[in-house]
């Protein structure tokens, strides 16, 4: 997929701007705070209906304006499309395809991006919830149907938790809660499906992450993934990375490298609920299930979280995103996702910069932002756009 033009009205710090894009690498350069990230964020919004920086759309509407418009001309599946979304400060947002109104939620069907930004460092250093979100978002991109399973699981979990809470408050004990068993069945059915889907995805990602890390950092590095499943006895109380807690590599309880299917997951899930029933009633919360799982990241035999250096953590997060792009491009009939690298190069040493440039060279389209032109390898700087205070001020530069 290729975006040939992007135009913004009252989006973030852009009053009105239009930029032509080319196939291959496109580099956006400008000093800090000029609008480089804003520009790529707008395309990210079309593909995910969200932002990697904020949870509210209000922040994306220019201060003082009532609505923001993002418009993209793109080539998708051999067709030229004009996509448009209007984010309104009050009232519902609106979307258009070739000037005909469509539902906003249909937009991501036509635009596919994989965005890597500094915030992604949290994939390596942050809490398990961020890694679960990473897997679930990728699952939804691959198999949109799974979003229904995830939403239903979360709903059942909320209802089951509120039942446990009210049972705790009213002193109801084990054996007196018939309704809980009904919720257990739903929780196990939906949760096991999600566990199997995540497991399959981790199996697919594993070789891609390993290859992407080597591509960025060199042959003598080993990046590995494993799932920590709470239903297999991963300590449900350890909300952090239990491999760090146990001081070893990926060998804490509940870690199973091999994928587990939904039938086996359901059996283990039910056993865990039985085992933990008393604690759940004491604590008023569901202690086991995919909402308590983690994706463990290991680098050179050590847990990445707590052990990897800043540059290594950065490279690992980048490898996770490059691996997602590899998985998506393999299955897509509409071409590659647009790869967006926001503020990446400043954090990498010279050798990793060159390697990353090589690794992304064959993507149909790559958008790169950098505050310093010289940080970006020459092969990615053929089409350079300069940005100043929310304006596109120029094209090609001399090195």
Dig out the tokens for 292 from the structure.
């308590």
Per CB under 6 A, 371 contacts ligand ATP: yes
Q: Which residue has the tokens 């910069």?
A: 353
Closest CB to ligand ATP among residues 203, 347: 347
Supply the minimum distance, in Å, between the C-beta of residue 308 and ligand ATP: 23
Residue 56 binds to ligand ATP (criterion: CB under 6 A): no
Helix (H, G, I), strand (E, B) or coil at 85: strand
Q: Give one DSSP letter per residue of 106-123, joined into a string.
A: GGGGT--EEEE-GGGHHH
d(CA 325, CA 61): 29
Q: Which of 26, 38, 47, 51 binds ligand ATP (CB under 6 A)?
A: 38
Residues 326-345 that bind ligand ATP (CB under 6 A): 343
Please check if 100 is assigned to a binding site: no
Query: Treating both helix axes as pointing N-terminal to C-terminal, what angle do 178-217 and 128-142 enclose, rounded to 10 degrees?
Result: 90
Cβ-based neighbours of 295, under 8 Å, separated by 6 or more: 128, 131, 132, 134, 135, 202, 225, 226, 227, 228
Residue 104 binds to ligand ATP (criterion: CB under 6 A): no
Q: Per CB under 6 A, which region of 25-33, 130-138, 169-177, 267-275 contacts ligand ATP?
A: 25-33
The annotation status of 369 as a binding-site residue, yes or no, is: no
35 binds ligand ATP (CB under 6 A): yes
- The answer to whether 128 contacts ligand ATP (rule: CB under 6 A) is no
Q: Does 36 engage in binding with ligand ATP (CB under 6 A)?
A: yes
Question: Using CA of residue 151, residue 260, residue 328, residue 293, what is the dihedral sign?
Answer: positive
Asked if residue 374 belongs to a known ligand binding site, the reply is no
Contact flag: residue 384 with ligand ATP (CB under 6 A): no
Q: Was 313 annotated as part of a binding site?
A: no
Query: With binding defined as CB under 6 A, does residue 26 bind ligand ATP?
Result: no
Helices 262-283, 178-217: crossing angle, 10 deg rounding: 120
Chosen residue from 7, 26, 30, 139 binding ligand ATP by CB under 6 A = 30
Pick the binder of ligand ATP from 5, 15, 22, 59 (CB under 6 A): 59
Residue 89 CB coordination number (10 Å):
12
Residue 14's H or E segment, with its range, is strand 14-20
305 binds ligand ATP (CB under 6 A): no
The yes or no reply on residue 374 touching ligand ATP (CB under 6 A) is no
For the chain, where are the alpha helices, taking DSSP H only? Answer: 36-48, 121-125, 128-142, 146-170, 178-217, 242-245, 262-283, 310-331, 350-360
Of 37, 42, 286, 365, the one binding ligand ATP (CB under 6 A) is 37
Q: How far is the CB of 64 from ligand ATP (least distance, A)?
A: 8
Q: Which of residues 63, 100, 170, 333 is near ligand ATP by CB under 6 A? A: 63
Q: Tell me the CA distances in angstroms from 169 to 152, 179, 322, one per residue in order.
A: 26, 16, 48
Of the candidates 24, 122, 106, the one whose C-alpha atom is nearest the C-alpha of residue 383 is 24
With CB under 6 A as the contact rule, the residue among 26, 34, 192, 243 that binds ligand ATP is: 34
- What is the bridge-based pairing of β-strands 24-29 and 67-76? unpaired
44 binds ligand ATP (CB under 6 A): no
**37 assigned ligand-binding residue:** yes
91 is in an annotated binding site: no
Residue 62 makes contact with ligand ATP by CB under 6 A: yes
Rounded CA gap, 361 and 322, in Å? 12
By CB under 6 A, tell whether 52 contacts ligand ATP.
no
Q: Is 56 annotated as a binding residue?
A: no
Say whether 284 counts as a known binding-site residue: no
Distance separating the N- and C-terminal Cα atoms of the chain: 29
Which CB atom, from 10 or from 193, has the smaller least distance to ligand ATP?
10
User: Shortest approach of ligand ATP to residue 393 CB, angstroms?
Assistant: 13
Whose Cβ is closer to ligand ATP: residue 10's or residue 298's?
Answer: 10
Reading the block at residue 79, the tokens are: 């067709």
Binding window for ligand ATP (CB under 6 A); candidates: 43-51, 54-62, 176-184, 250-258: 54-62
What is the contact surface with ligand ATP in residues (CB under 6 A)? 12-13, 30, 32-38, 59, 61-63, 343, 369, 371
Residues annotated within a binding site for ATP:
30-37
């Amino acid at each position: 997929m290729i975006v040939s033009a992007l135009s913004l009205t009252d989006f973030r710090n852009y009053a009105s701007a239009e930029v032509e894009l080319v196939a291959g690498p496109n580099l956006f350069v400008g000093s800090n705070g000029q609008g480089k990230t804003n520009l790529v964020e707008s395309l990210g919004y079309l593909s995910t209906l969200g932002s990697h920086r904020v949870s509210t759309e209000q922040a994306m509407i220019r201060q003082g304006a009532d609505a923001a418009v993002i418009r993209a001309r793109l080539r998708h599946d051999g067709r030229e499309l004009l996509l448009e979304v209007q984010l309104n400060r009050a009232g519902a947002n609106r979307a258009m395809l070739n000037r005909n109104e469509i539902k906003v939620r249909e937009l991501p069907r036509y635009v596919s991006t994989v965005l890597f930004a500094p915030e992604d460092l949290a994939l390596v250093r942050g809490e398990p919830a961020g890694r679960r979100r990473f897997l679930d978002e990728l699952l939804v991109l691959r198999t949109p149907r799974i979003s229904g399973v995830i939403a239903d699981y979360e709903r059942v979990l909320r209802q089951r938790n509120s039942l446990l809470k009210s049972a705790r408050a009213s002193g109801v004990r084990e054996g007196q809660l018939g309704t809980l068993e009904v919720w257990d069945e739903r929780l196990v059915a939906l949760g096991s499906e999600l566990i199997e889907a995540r497991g399959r995805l981790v199996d697919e990602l594993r070789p891609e992450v390993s290859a992407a890390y080597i591509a960025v950092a060199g042959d003598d590095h080993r990046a590995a993934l494993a799932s920590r499943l709470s239903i297999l006895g991963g300590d449900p109380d350890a909300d952090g990375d239990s491999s760090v807690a146990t001081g070893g590599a990926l060998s804490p309880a509940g870690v199973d490298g091999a994928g587990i299917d939904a039938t086996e997951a359901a059996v283990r899930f039910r056993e865990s609920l039985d085992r933990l029933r008393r604690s759940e009633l004491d604590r008023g919360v569901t202690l086991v299930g995919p909402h308590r799982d983690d994706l463990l990241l290991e680098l050179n035999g050590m847990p990445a979280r707590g052990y990897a250096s800043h540059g290594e953590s950065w490279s690992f997060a980048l490898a996770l995103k490059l691996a997602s792009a590899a998985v998506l491009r393999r299955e897509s009939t509409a071409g590659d996702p647009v790869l967006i690298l926001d503020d990446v190069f400043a954090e990498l040493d010279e050798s990793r910069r060159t390697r990353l440039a090589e690794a992304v060279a064959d993507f149909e389209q790559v958008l790169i932002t950098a505050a310093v032109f010289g940080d970006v390898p020459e092969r990615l700087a053929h089409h350079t756009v300069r940005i100043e205070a929310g304006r596109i001020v120029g094209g090609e530069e001399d090195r």
